[in-house]
Amino acid sequence: MLTHLRRRGTLLLRYALGDVSSRTRERCPHCGAWTDRLTKMPRRVDALVKIKGTLVNPDVLVQALEGVLGAQAFRAVVLKDGTGPIAPDALEVRVAQPQGATLAPEHAEAIARAVHAAVSIMPRVVGVPAEALADPSAGWKSRKFVDAR
């Protein structure tokens, strides 16, 4: 973490919670200053994911969904809501439904409320066939959280 303690007139750059970058004390080739500076854009190395500007712990999200759905198959998917480079993020919870069945609106509302209470993001809840949640690349274990951005 970089701080501006004992340096008057400087900005506070604070990267924490798993953000990693590269710092140098060499002379800046652009302005010639001899001060600490970041040479790479920060990147995240922990399990936290930023969705709609909110840091979300996927484990907390999965636990909240398991609390509501129990053994019913589901997948939480983070995706772009639209096209283009500045399309907003969306959180979609896909819940397995038996063939020909539909997801009851009150059940979808309960799922959305549980997710919102856990991670402060209101998801879209959709019912899908169980085959749609199969992931051959994951082997026998199903992935309950996918970042598809």
Task: Let me know whether 86 and 129 are in one domain.
Answer: yes
Distance between CA 39 and CA 59 in Å, rounded? 32
Each residue of 88-101: pLDDT tens digit? 889 999 999 988 88
Low-confidence residues of the chain, pLDDT below 70? Answer: 1-20, 42-46, 137-141
Residues 66 and 22 both lie in one domain: no
What pLDDT shows up at residue 12?
A: 54
Residue 65 vs residues 32, 71, 89, 116: alpha-carbon distances, Å: 53, 10, 19, 11
3-state helix, strand, coil in the chain (%, to 5): 25, 25, 50
- Residue 98 has a pLDDT of 85
Q: In the chain, how many domains are there?
A: 2
Same domain assignment for residues 79 and 120: yes
Residue-level pLDDT at 16 = 55
Q: Are residue 61 and residue 128 in the same domain, yes or no?
A: yes
pLDDT value of position 44? 62
62-148-124-111 Cα dihedral, nearest 10 degrees: -10
Q: Are residues 110 and 121 in the same domain?
A: yes
Q: Assess whether 22 and 82 both reside in one domain.
A: no
Give the pLDDT of residue 49. Answer: 86
Q: How far is CA 131 from CA 55, 61, 113, in A?
A: 30, 22, 26
CB 111 within 8 A of CB 93: yes
**pLDDT tens by residue, 72-85:** 899 999 998 878 77
